[in-house]
Amino acid sequence: MLFQLVSGANALYLIGSGKFMSFDLSLDEGKFLINLARKTVKEYLENGDIVRPPVDTPKKLFERCGVFVTINSVRNGEKALRGCIGYPYPTNPLLEAVIDSAINAATEDPRFNPISLDELDSVVFEVSVLTPPEAVEVDDPKEYVSKIKVGEDGLIVEKGFCKGLLLPQVPVEWGWCEEEFLCQSCVKAGLPPDSWLTKGAKIFKFKAIIFEEETPNGEVKRFSLDK
């Protein structure tokens, strides 16, 4: 199973022709992806099978997109991360990437033990569909703060062999400002917090369309990034 592990409004999506097109997902399409992620994990934990794309899959969901599947445990109304793995870049059809990411978020995230079948009734699934990351160009690293926006952007920080990604919802959930978001992205990469100010650091930003279950096996909603 091939996957890239990175433990993390209308969109513009880059298609193979090199042209840009508007790309959005409806709530029904979001529900489809969430249900697919949950079904995929259930089938895999029950018998080791990898589900096939359903015959009623909307054609749009075969577009190549980056995607992350996040699984959170829920106790007393509070969420805690249980697994998160995905593809930062649009290398695979969205449907296939969701299936692959769901299995790996449940069983291969090195920060956690694999999820058990009994846990599925106490976790919620979240699917984040990403736009292709774009380099943030600045003359002075201090300008990065004004070039990104909490509530809109996700970040990737790279320096040398270190790389870290944080999804757009992370700074919203933690109440970070743009500078703290940059610092925490560096920490995610295994770097000192102020590494975004240093020579050789590269910053990329992306946007995401996010859907999540409100409760385990419950209603699906579109995640609002408004601060």
The pLDDT value given to residue 22: 60
**Residue 61 within a domain:** yes
Predicted pLDDT at 2: 31
Assign residue 195 the CATH number of its domain: 3.30.1490.150
Report the distance separating Cα 29 and Cα 9, nearest Å. 15
If asked whether residues 43 and 70 sit together in one domain, one would say: yes
pLDDT at 221 over 70: yes
Give tens-digit pLDDT for 60-119: 999 999 999 999 999 888 899 999 999 999 999 999 999 999 999 999 999 999 999 999
Per DSSP, helices labelled H in 53-93 are none
Sequential DSSP letters for 113-129: PPPPGGGGGGEEEEEEE
User: Does residue 4 lie within any of the structural domains?
Assistant: no
Residue 119 and residue 153 in one domain = no
Quick one: 123 and 50 in the same domain?
Answer: yes
- Residue 226 confidence (pLDDT): 72
CATH number of 87's domain? 3.30.700.20
Same structural domain for residues 213 and 104? yes
pLDDT, tens digit, 9 for 90 and up, residues 205-214: 999 999 999 9
**6 domain residue, yes or no:** no
Same domain, 37 and 119: yes
Taking 90 as the threshold, does the pLDDT of residue 6 lie above it? no
* Separation CA 26–CA 32 (nearest Å): 10
97 and 147 fall within a common domain: no
Tokens representing 75 are 């106790």
Same-domain pairing of 79 and 146: no
Parent domain of 194: 134-206
- Domain count along the chain: 2
Are 76 and 105 contained in the same domain? Answer: yes
In a domain, 170, yes or no: yes
176-206 pLDDT per residue, tens: 999 999 999 999 999 999 999 999 999 999 9
What is residue 77's predicted lDDT score, i.e. its pLDDT?
A: 82
Provide the pLDDT for residue 1.
29
pLDDT score of 8 more than 50: no
Do 122 and 17 belong to one domain? Answer: yes
Task: State the CB neighbour count (10 A cutoff) for residue 108.
Answer: 16
Please provide the average confidence, as pLDDT, over all residues in the chain. Answer: 89
Nearest to 3 by CA among 102, 90, 86: 86
Instruction: Tell me, yes or no, whether 107 and 216 share the same domain.
Output: yes
- Domain assignment present for 116: yes
How many angstroms separate the most distant Cα atoms in the chain? 54
